[in-house]
Amino acid sequence: MTAILQQPLPYHASSTELYRKIAHLPMPVLLASGSIQHPDARFDILSAAPIKTLKTWGAETLIESADGTCSVQRGNPLDILKENVQYPALDVSGLGKTPFVGGAIGYFAYDLLHESHQVPSVRANDDISLPAMLVGIYHWAVILDHQEKRCTFLCLSTVSKAVRQQILDCLDVPLPASAAQETFELTGAFQSDFSRAEYQQAFARIIRYIEAGDCYQVNLAQRFSAPFKGDPLLAFARLHELARAPFSAFIKSPEGCVLSFSPERFIRVVGKRVTTQPIKGTRPRHEDPGEDR
């Protein structure tokens, strides 16, 4: 049974301030749900420097270890991920409702399983060069509990004392004055990858498919993009404040940054209980008429 070490830290109302202190480490991640009024909003989770990173392009998954070794595996990316997570049995007594003590954090793209499921390779142009799967295996985390106003550093006892101290030193160092001067701004307007005529043609084609019985539902998506300059973390902090989404995430990797703001929980598994919380366009009415509008 592997022990989990705990150390209290000063509480921060803003998780982005803490994130900045570890942003220079490899593949830092932030899962943000706290500090907003929502039944599922309580905790923020931060980590960085995974012991392994898995990146999938097509049929190949690149596995990079913290010691610098690399390997490539072919096959179902989820099977490869399962092989590489391999967590020891953990002693979680005394952790209360702590939501995370280590494990896999990352994302899966929609076309991740096209290769293993033999889906035809007719797909959108891959012009942003992000892997279909990007996952880090983390052995430590900082947990912000906004309900109890507590901040805790957690790590597996297998993490060396030198690594633990390095992380704690990063978290203890004040941000430089220059951090307050950092900005984020768009340098051009958002542009769709559809023209109006192209969108109308695609919409009409989908209607014909539905009327013919070829399908019953299609998600017709368009992508909006714009050039920017500055720190994407500042964009995340501002959008999180506006969206107030209980399942938000910020992931930074050499390939780029991922900003996610979801009102939905795709799936949660606790023991033998599985929960999913889709929104699908619905939202509760507000008692205050102004807020409701």
Other beta carbons less than 10 A from residue 263's beta carbon:
17
Three-class SS string for 135-155?
A: EEEECEEEEEECCCCEEEEEE
Q: How far apart are CA 23 and CA 47, in angstroms?
A: 9
Q: Which residues are catalytic?
A: 264, 280
Structure-block tokens of residue 159: 């993490």
Q: How far apart are CA 248 and CA 86, in angstroms?
A: 26
Structure-block tokens of residue 12: 């921060």
Which of 270, 267, 264 is closest to 282 using CA atoms? 264
203-206, long-range: CB within 8 Å, 24+ apart, which pairs? none
